[in-house]
Amino acid sequence: MKVRTSYVGLQNLLQGLSFSVRYYSKHNHLQTICFYSKIKPKKCHILDWSGSTCTHRTVTPGSTVPCRFFSCKIRFGENVYFEENGCIFLSKADDVDEGIVDILFSTEDLGFSDAFIQRIRISPDQRYMAISLKSENSEEATCVIMKLGHSPVVEKVIPNVFSFEWATNDVLYYTSQKNLKCQNVFMTTFTNQKHTKLVYTEQDARFFVDIYCTKDRRFLTINSNSKTTSEVWLVDCRHPFQLPALVQARTQGIIYHVEHRNDELYILTTYREPAEYKLMKAPVASSGMENWQLVYALEEKTKLVDLEMFSDHCIMFLKNAGHLYLSVISFVSHSVQSIKLPTWACEFELESHPEHTTSTCYFQLTSPVHPPKRFAYSFKENNLIEQAVQEVPIITNCHTTRLLAKSKDETLVPITVFHNMNSKELHRKPLLVHVYGAYGIDLNMSFKEEKLMLIEEGWILAYCHVRGGGELGLSWHKDGCQHNKLKGLHDLKACITLLHELGFSQPKYTALAAASAGGVLAGALCNADPELIRAMVLQAPFVDVLNTMMKTHLPLTIEEQEEWGNPLADEKCMKYIKSYCPYQNIKTQCYPSVFITAYENDQRIPLTGVLRYVQKLRKAALDHASRTSKKGNWIPNIILDIQANGSHCESSWEDSLNEVARHLAFLNKELEEVCHLQQHMKSCK
């Protein structure tokens, strides 16, 4: 999909949908609406070709799915596999540019027209290809195994699969998913005597299991992770029928992930102080914690974004003080080189490298307003090369500013601000503030076409990296979860206050955007300091924390106790959650306007909780209006947009053009006074 096409499409949708939101706002301040646009944007889903060493994370009920971006093209020797529009193609490397391709798989031809391709794994000898297919209305995926050849055929279909890897040419390991949980690992064979066997079961409901293949294809790792603790088992790919071997028994509070090189395990772990990630190693034959030796330790307040292992090198992708770095570790010279990346970059997008012997690492850099640029780091030349010729329009006059706000306890909280350098009187410009602050997950700062449009229109964009997120390492998350959740709220208030003090907009021109678990802090701010913002956009928000954490029958409640606490077992925890929970703290006062998108099929954020929140918020807003009724009294628009299609994971702000247009139309309407005021002032001049 060309970015220019969706960018223009977004502008057209915005104009059309702006009228819809204006109409509903004008005729009823408190509306529940269901938009089902006839305009269906082209699907553009991320294709996962390979695993990741350090991103074995459980998907959480109040979080946007922490996904990693991959190229949709991969090379195996002379063959190149790539995906486009629900089809998988094969071409010889020399024939790709000629357009000479063979089609191996089509979702539509096999009756999966409503699904998208999520993950692909090709067997070492390229005789089989395993594909996971997922619809936008379901959390579970279906795995289809194709036997390749002159005429590819479907060999097997496995429902409810989360992750899968080839151990050998004809042995596949996979995890099954049920009610958002993955606790069983199976092995299935495609030899003459086909059979399927259960090889591992996780008994602890707090843990989530996935599978990863080491870069040298020596081991499969069975990774069982909770929010704070890990355990890894090894499957020897040379002997796939042997029982898995334990690396290190789980120890409360210690996370670890495993790679392999030259009969040694390279272990990314939080073991030993400080409790940040370190790279350690141990012999395969004696992999216990007592044998772990330090290879590299991160600096204080540094976030490990990703790690890629090669035959003679390891590259760590790091964030420190808002800037991106590479740390290149040479296993030959035993040296470490740190490379600072361009200052405009905010996110990495690591490409797949199926051959660990390659001499070059490819990745892309991006920011909310900078389209991805491709870079290559050469181990031989020891240098960084910009690869891509930019095809997407870039706003060359977009200025990036990094600030530090002093929170209530004097902790410095990073803010990243984008604005048009040609804009004058920034205090009169609309400001869109973004927040998340949960699960140790960074605020999403990858490129979005709509952000370019906002910058061109004179908006200011601010990203508040509050505690509870992961921007400054694991300690940053720990300092904002469980009994520290209010720190994230204090951080957010400090960030918005500083922005206004420095002349970036003002409260009546400020809007707040949050998704999923970000709704906790956004909703809490809306209750505590509603005068700081004029409008708020929430997507699948987690706003009923206390009631949700009291219901152990929900599939992820027990797992989530490490993030929010256990109010059933701890009265202090119950009181603390009640002190910040958005639903529990709604009161009769003047609220900002709110636009909430919710999904009927959302298994992570139950629709009932969102409905309760909206009903209570509307009542509070109307009660306040009736008590303070006077001429010109402002009543907030509280709009609930319920989507029958899509789920928590697949119909997000990033992926749905229609949703983005509705959100922006709402913000445009609520902050339109800015434009009217500016036009009036120009006319007077």
| Residues annotated as part of the active site | 516, 602, 648
Q: How far apart are CA 205 and CA 418, in angstroms?
A: 42
Instruction: Count CB atoms within 10 A of the CB of residue 181.
Output: 20
The 3-class secondary structure across 349-379, one letter per residue, is EECCCCCCCCCEEEEEEEECCEEEEEEEEEC
Q: How far apart are CA 95 and CA 320, in angstroms?
A: 42
**% helix / strand / coil in the chain, to the nearest 5?**
25, 35, 40
Q: Are 570 and 545 in contact (CB under 8 A)?
A: no
Placement of tokens 């706002």 in the chain: 25
Q: Are 585 and 530 in contact (CB under 8 A)?
A: no
CA angle at residue 44 from 40 to 50, to 5 degrees?
155
- Give, to the nearest 10 degrees, the angle between helix 449-456 and helix 657-670: 20
Closest Cα partner for 217 from 184, 164, 247, 261?
261
* 3-state SS, residue 183: strand
Q: How far apart are CA 122 and CA 135, in angstroms?
A: 22
Residue 439, beta-bridge partner list = none
Supply 54's token pair: 């350090």
The one-letter amino acid at 58:
T
Q: How far apart are CA 62 and CA 234, in angstroms?
A: 31
DSSP 289: G
Q: How far is CA 229 from the centre of its chain?
A: 21
Residue 296, beta-bridge partner list = 279
The one-letter amino acid at 124:
P
Closest Cα partner for 520 from 592, 449, 466?
466
Q: Are strands 264-269 and 278-283 parallel, antiparallel or unpaired?
A: antiparallel
**Long-range contacts of residues 263-268, Cβ cutoff 8 Å, at least 24 apart:** 266/295, 266/309, 266/314, 267/292, 268/53, 268/54, 268/304, 268/307
Contacts of 569 (CB under 8 A, 6+ apart): none
CA angle at residue 616 from 527 to 138, to 5 degrees?
95
Closest Cα partner for 426 from 502, 332, 532?
502
Closest Cα partner for 271 from 286, 287, 252?
252
Closest Cα partner for 507 from 524, 531, 526, 525?
531
Phi and psi at residue 232, to the nearest 5°: -125, 135
Q: How far is CA 237 from the centre of its chain?
A: 31
